[in-house]
A and B are shown apart, each in its own frame.
Chain A
Amino acid sequence: MDVTFQHISKSFGPVKALTDVSLTAKAGTIHGLIGENGAGKSTLMKILTGYQSKTGGTILMDGNEVILDNPKQAARHGIGMLYQEPMDFTPLTVLENFSIGIPGHNRRDLRFALQNLSVRFGFHLDPDRCVEQLTVGERQQIELLRLIHCQTRILILDEPTTGISPAQKEVLFPALKQLAADGMIILLVSHKLEEVATLCDEVTVLRHGQVTHHTTAPFHFPELLTAMFGSVPERQDKAAVREKGSPVLVMQKVEAAGERQGLHHCTISVAEGEVIGLAGLDGAGQSTFLRLAAGLTIPEQGTIQLFGEKLPKKPAASSCAQALRTSFIPADRLEEALFTDVSLSDHFSLKKKQSSFWRSQQKAKKLADTGISTLSIKGQSENTAGDLSGGNQQRLLLALLDPQSRLVLLENPTRGLDIRSGHWVWQYLRNKLPKETSIVFSSPELDEIIHYSDRILVFHDGDIVMDSAVTDTSHDAIAAAMAGMKEYV
């Protein structure tokens, strides 16, 4: 049995998530689906499981078109998915979770089935234990057995090794190979190239919603990396490297929670005047790093020093950081940085350092008008932040930036901006801020990082796996580090 995607497309309003995606996964194989975050892997899988409708194209099973309008229909066709976060009921026992969605069986049969399957795949599951007490890996095993018991013929795995131990991985991989050998179709969604290489028979690479590469084992990594991240010639018009000065931000053995994996053993020093790009897949620790430096996240362990002063480990840390002239601009502007229904001039009033008791509307308007004209914001001082387009919201945030900032932290500064606006933002940051100002920014676009930074830190699963001057590394090396490959030749 095969499953075939033919010319699948999917749009969310004007945004195209998938364009003309075609691929075939054959029975008895493990088919890898790789790509950056936002490449379209999850969308494609959600269409297959009936959670999302497609805009165009057809899905064939054994050559016959199937309609998958909802998860129930998909399940009836034997399509099952193992999610990154186990979708189970934690107060129930292992057996109860296993039984969910299986009608008409008596408990003894189910217990027998569960034990049989456990033995077959080498899982050690106690049917009467409460799922609450189990690890993510064990919960994943229950879910896997349940799907097998429900006669799943097409199994989708979404980043199955996130959150499970290496030992559990050793048990999971042979189980998957065995299932494939039994004739199941397995679709593996992952961004970890090494795992894909050990497990998969075939790999399809998605980038910006399109298939950029398809290949069978054995795999050639540079080829896959280029297909995942695109290849760009080294730019000639690179921004000039700035002078380095004394340390501005020093982190020592910092451990913090946040995002998928938190941040581990982070020891790093940022010098005055440096522009540092933080590379990594979404949620690899860059955002946690920026929030730690801004005093918005409190480290569990370790110390953070800004300009020689230790940040206190309490909510007042963000206030301290700001007093030390550290500014942070988050990626999610309306969620985290602006007030939707507050006017632009009121934003300037709120940002003012020495705030008086009464509001001075005239002064605020003046400030706002100056900001609007210097940053060419398309809007009036009485417009609200929510009235502005994404690009203009970013300009507003830059206008609100303390001009005397000594450390500027930016999370994905060109998010949602077209190329010209993005370029404009960088022109502003590099030319309008004083030369001594250090800039630390994250971006999902490798090109942007290589183009604008002096130094690059690469994050993978909460670790900084690479710290290098931009001149000493290459696009491919960074891409490999992002994909979690320890050695790259």
Chain B
Amino acid sequence: MSKTSSKQMKKLSIDILLGGVLVFGFTALVLLIAGAPVFATLKNIWLGAFASTTKISQVLSVWVPLTLCACGLLFTFRANLWNIGIEGQVIMGAIGAMAALRIPGIENPVLITALAFFASIIGGSLWGLFAGLLKTKGGVHEIFGGLGLNFVAQGFILWLIFGPWKRPGIASMSGTELLPRELWLSTPPGWRVSIGGLVIGVSVLILTWLLLEKSMLGLKLTAIGQNPRAARLYDISPVAHYLQSIIIAGGCAGIAGFLQVTAVYHRLIPSISSGYGYLALLLVMLAGYRISLVPFLALFFAALNVGAIQLPIVLQLDSALSGVIQGCCVLSTLFIIGIRQKRKQS
């Protein structure tokens, strides 16, 4: 056993090294084409992400929702479901939270925040459940169902912001009215991330690990993901587990939406999900569906996202460069995995 695992480790490290080289080469090429100095750009991204406590905390504020979405996706990927609807599930979580926060007559901020937390889970889960039901009852592939529901969620949030929940007097792309201060999740002075958010992120990460690795649910999802036909001989219902996994994923995404509202933007904005759902899909693929790599890769992606913000100011480059680098990472990984599989087959 140890022999094979050390062999696997060697293979993995070669893969990572190869991937690193590919990513760097690819990125450097793109930067050169864009006419940007390669090392200066990378250095600025690094400084932009880690140069001060404020910046580090800002990276963490991206890390939390990204990790939450990735955790949710680990469940659906286990069951071999492509939950591309995760983006819409974040949005619906945010809407659920906002709906609860707007309930009139509740004075206690702790109570109403707790309500918002649960409402966000319900919002995200429900959106996941819809995609799941479309698949299991309607035969709609979860990619198409999820994608469709993303559009519906996006339309819904726009309607709320410009319609019933608009600011008194004006409706604007900048979102709904700011929440009263007491409903903001508390953030230490000079920090950009709330302690509550960090606690939730780490807790969900641990809970996900427990459920996937230590509970029967994780094992059953693995079984269904590998062979749904055989699962029936073990009296494990694929339909029930598809729905369970996508509900859990929706719940995790919903919490991300809750934090975006209560800890980051303190209001509802059209782009409340910040694309973290899609980014998390890439992240989980990059991690090879392994939870152990998720927090680190989430940190890497978060750092890229935050670090690239200052590129336009310092180097007159577009901050979209971070997206290009992230894309390169994923493509290189998929490329390496693809080559491995092809070699295995032949």
Contact A358 B215 (CB under 8 A): yes
Q: How far is the CA of A319 from the CA of B230 in the complex (A)?
A: 13
Residues 315-354 of A at the B interface (beta carbon under 8 Å):
315, 318-319, 322, 328, 330, 335-342, 346, 349-351
CB-nearest residue of chain B to A327:
B233
Given A339-B222, A339-B223, A342-B223, the answer on whether A358 and B230 have CB atoms closer than 8 Å is no
Q: How far is the CA of A209 from the CA of B223 in the complex (A)?
A: 38
Contact A340 B226 (CB under 8 A): yes
Partner of B234, one of A330, A350, A382: A350
Contact A358 B226 (CB under 8 A): no
Contacts of B340 in A (CB 8 A): none
Partner of A336, one of B220, B230, B237: B230
Given A350-B236, A357-B215, the answer on whether A336 and B229 have CB atoms closer than 8 Å is yes
Residues 218-255 of B at the A interface (beta carbon under 8 Å):
218-220, 222-223, 226-227, 229-230, 232-237, 239
CB-nearest residue of chain B to A355:
B216
Given A322-B235, A339-B227, A351-B234, the answer on whether A346 and B216 have CB atoms closer than 8 Å is no
- Which are the 5 A-B pairs with shortest beta-carbon distances? A339-B226, A350-B234, A322-B235, A318-B232, A355-B216
Contacts of A129 in B (CB 8 A): none
Contact B235 A319 (CB under 8 A): yes
| A269-282 near B? 1/0 per residue, CB < 8 Å | 00000000000000
Contacts of A335 in B (CB 8 A): 227, 229-230
- A296 at interface by CB-CB < 8 Å: yes
Contacts of A358 in B (CB 8 A): 214-216
Contacts of B216 in A (CB 8 A): 349, 355-359
Contact A340 B232 (CB under 8 A): no
Contacts of B233 in A (CB 8 A): 318, 328, 330, 336-337
Contact A382 B1 (CB under 8 A): yes
Q: How far is the CA of A349 from the CA of B234 in the complex (A)?
A: 10
Contact A359 B219 (CB under 8 A): yes
| B142-177 near A? 1/0 per residue, CB < 8 Å | 000000000000000000000000000000000000
| B77-108 near A? 1/0 per residue, CB < 8 Å | 00000000000000000000000000000000
A residues sitting closer than 8 Å to B (CB atoms) are 296, 315, 318-319, 322, 328, 330, 335-342, 346, 349-351, 355-359, 382
Q: How far is the CB of A408 from chain B (nearest CB, A)?
A: 13
CB-nearest residue of chain A to B237:
A319
Contacts of A322 in B (CB 8 A): 235
* New contact pairs (16) apart from A350-B219, A350-B220, A350-B223, CB-CB < 8 Å: A315-B237, A318-B232, A318-B233, A330-B233, A337-B230, A337-B233, A338-B227, A338-B230, A339-B223, A339-B230, A342-B219, A342-B223, A346-B223, A355-B216, A357-B216, A358-B216
Contacts of A340 in B (CB 8 A): 226-227
Contacts of B235 in A (CB 8 A): 318-319, 322
Contacts of A318 in B (CB 8 A): 232-233, 235
Contacts of A315 in B (CB 8 A): 237, 239
What are 27 inter-chain pairs, A to B, with CB distance below 8 A?
A296-B232, A315-B237, A315-B239, A318-B235, A319-B235, A328-B233, A336-B227, A336-B230, A336-B233, A337-B230, A339-B223, A339-B226, A339-B227, A339-B230, A341-B226, A342-B222, A342-B226, A346-B219, A349-B219, A351-B234, A355-B216, A357-B216, A357-B217, A358-B214, A359-B215, A359-B216, A359-B218
Contacts of A359 in B (CB 8 A): 214-216, 218-219
Q: Which of B226, B230, B239 has the most CB of A within 10 A?
A: B230
Residues 308-322 of B at the A interface (beta carbon under 8 Å):
none
Q: How far is the CB of B87 from chain A (nearest CB, A)?
A: 30
Q: How far is the CA of A349 from the CA of B237 in the complex (A)?
A: 16
Contacts of A330 in B (CB 8 A): 233
Q: How far is the CA of A315 from the CA of B239 in the complex (A)?
A: 10
Q: How far is the CB of A283 from chain B (nearest CB, A)?
A: 18
Q: How far is the CA of A341 from the CA of B232 in the complex (A)?
A: 17
Q: Which of A337, A339, A341, A346 has the most CB of B within 10 A?
A: A339
Q: How far is the CB of B168 from chain A (nearest CB, A)?
A: 49
Q: How far is the CB of A191 from chain B (nearest CB, A)?
A: 28
Contacts of A336 in B (CB 8 A): 227, 229-230, 233
Contacts of A328 in B (CB 8 A): 233
Contacts of A356 in B (CB 8 A): 216
CB-nearest residue of chain A to B225:
A339
Q: How far is the CA of A146 from the CA of B8 in the complex (A)?
A: 56
Contacts of B236 in A (CB 8 A): 350
Q: How far is the CA of A318 from the CA of B239 in the complex (A)?
A: 14
Q: How far is the CB of B203 from chain A (nearest CB, A)?
A: 18
Contacts of B230 in A (CB 8 A): 335-339
Q: How far is the CA of A321 from the CA of B216 in the complex (A)?
A: 23
Q: How far is the CB of B340 from chain A (nearest CB, A)?
A: 15
Q: How far is the CB of A380 from chain B (nearest CB, A)?
A: 8
| B1-41 near A? 1/0 per residue, CB < 8 Å | 10000000000000000000000000000000000000000
Q: How far is the CB of B179 from chain A (nearest CB, A)?
A: 38
CB-nearest residue of chain A to B238:
A315
Q: How far is the CB of B213 from chain A (nearest CB, A)?
A: 8
CB-nearest residue of chain A to B210:
A358
Q: Which of B1, B214, B229, B232 has the most CB of A within 10 A?
A: B232
Contacts of B227 in A (CB 8 A): 335-336, 338-340
Q: How far is the CB of A225 from chain B (nearest CB, A)?
A: 36
Q: How far is the CA of A382 from the CA of B235 in the complex (A)?
A: 23
Q: How far is the CB of B107 from chain A (nearest CB, A)?
A: 38
Q: How far is the CB of B337 from chain A (nearest CB, A)?
A: 15
| B188-226 near A? 1/0 per residue, CB < 8 Å | 000000000000000000000000001111111011001
Contacts of B217 in A (CB 8 A): 357
Q: How far is the CB of B216 from chain A (nearest CB, A)?
A: 5
Q: How far is the CA of A351 from the CA of B215 in the complex (A)?
A: 15
Q: How far is the CA of A355 from the CA of B236 in the complex (A)?
A: 11
Q: Which of B1, B233, B235 has the most CB of A within 10 A?
A: B233
Q: How far is the CB of A296 from chain B (nearest CB, A)?
A: 6
Contacts of B226 in A (CB 8 A): 339-342
CB-nearest residue of chain B to A397:
B233
Q: How far is the CA of A315 from the CA of B223 in the complex (A)?
A: 18
Q: How far is the CA of A340 from the CA of B234 in the complex (A)?
A: 15
Q: How far is the CA of A346 from the CA of B221 in the complex (A)?
A: 12
Q: Which of B222, B234, B236 has the most CB of A within 10 A?
A: B234
Q: How far is the CA of A356 from the CA of B218 in the complex (A)?
A: 12
Q: How far is the CA of A351 from the CA of B232 in the complex (A)?
A: 11
Q: How far is the CA of A441 from the CA of B299 in the complex (A)?
A: 56
Contacts of B218 in A (CB 8 A): 359
Q: How far is the CA of A356 from the CA of B1 in the complex (A)?
A: 29
Q: How far is the CB of B103 from chain A (nearest CB, A)?
A: 34
CB-nearest residue of chain B to A356:
B216
Q: How far is the CA of A356 from the CA of B216 in the complex (A)?
A: 7
Q: How far is the CA of A357 from the CA of B237 in the complex (A)?
A: 16
Q: How far is the CB of B76 from chain A (nearest CB, A)?
A: 18
Q: How far is the CA of A346 from the CA of B234 in the complex (A)?
A: 12
Q: How far is the CA of A339 from the CA of B222 in the complex (A)?
A: 9
Q: How far is the CA of A430 from the CA of B235 in the complex (A)?
A: 25
Contacts of A339 in B (CB 8 A): 222-223, 226-227, 230
CB-nearest residue of chain A to B218:
A359
Q: How far is the CA of A330 from the CA of B227 in the complex (A)?
A: 14
Contacts of B239 in A (CB 8 A): 315
CB-nearest residue of chain B to A338:
B230
Contacts of B1 in A (CB 8 A): 382
Q: How far is the CA of A336 from the CA of B218 in the complex (A)?
A: 20
